[in-house]
Amino acid sequence: MTVEDAEKIVYDAIFPRGPEGVKHTKIFVNGRDFERVNNVLEKIKSCMIAPFEAAVIVDPRGAYTTASAAVAKTLELSNLKGLGTLENKSVTVLAGTGPVGQTVARLYASENADVTVTSRSLQKASSVAAKINEESGSENVRGVEVQAPEEVGKAIEKAEIVLSAGAAGTSLLPLNVLREHGKKCGIVLDINAIPPLGVEGMESDANGKEILPHIFGIGALIIGKFKNKVEWELIKRAAEEPKGIFDYKAAYEIAKKIVMEKTVEKKPESEPQKYWLP
């Protein structure tokens, strides 16, 4: 679908239904081309003229809900291990220029974490970092070039959280590199469930399992299962609302609410909060 196609489809969908019918019209934007998805979304927004406004769900190849699930699970595990919130945490996103990588970087940055985005191309990594910083009005994100294993080690040296966002079947973080250079690391996540996995030595169904001393992992199957729940809730919310944009921000709001409601047991003020995994 092109941007021009989107305009025609939206007008054909909203005007024949009338102001009341359009409240029950939902538009789902999907696709592997991240830039085109965003361009299509902007065109859809420009087509919405009151009272002809529909609810729009945006989740390019599941990237938004996957990223939201991953970052929310990070927060859940961080709380569980007594590491607190994501604020001021140092995060490295390996292969962070793809749809999931860019989105997790945005979400970590939205929690005021310091984020390093890696890529085989310094230009791509720097471009993504600059775009996120411009959108957020901060300087929390930086891009670095990573190709050789020693460059991976350098990229994670200060990281307290590492997320591997590479393509399926792509190994990004060898166990010996994590052991040698991840001295400050407490949480590692991997979105790749197809062997070889993105993080060596971590099982796809790891849900807070210790993979090295004081380093706990969250595997792709755990993230994927939670992603499906987040996506269902996102679609459900869009179905209930007459209009609005339901994108990565809405998905993360849902994911964060779920983990906080599920993992935080409120105690009297004199007692500390207790956290646990489901």
210: CATH = 3.40.50.720
Q: In this predicted structure, what is the pLDDT of residue 264? A: 59
Q: In this predicted structure, what is the pLDDT of residue 239? A: 95
Can you give the residue range of the structural domain that contains 241? 3-62+227-262
- Residues 217, 256, single domain; the answer is no
Q: Where does the pLDDT of residue 192 fall: very low under 50, low under 70, confident under 90, or very high at 90 and above?
A: very high
Full strand arrangement of the beta sheet holding 244-246: 26-29, 55-58, 244-246
What is the total count of domains within the chain? 2
- Residues 196, 70, single domain; the answer is yes
- Residues 77, 142, single domain; the answer is yes
What CATH number does the domain containing 58 carry?
Answer: 3.40.50.10280
For residues 36 and 30, what is the distance between their CA atoms, to the nearest angstrom? Answer: 10
Q: In this predicted structure, what is the pLDDT of residue 265? A: 55
- Residues 75, 148, single domain; the answer is yes
Helices (H), 15-145: 18-21, 34-47, 63-80, 99-110, 122-136
Average pLDDT of the segment spanning 91-119: 97
Q: Where does the pLDDT of residue 149 fall: very low under 50, low under 70, confident under 90, or very high at 90 and above?
A: confident
Q: How far is CA 79 from CA 70, 82, 143, 182, 223, in A?
A: 14, 5, 27, 20, 17
- Residues 121, 198, single domain; the answer is yes
- Residues 42, 160, single domain; the answer is no
- Residues 136, 237, single domain; the answer is no
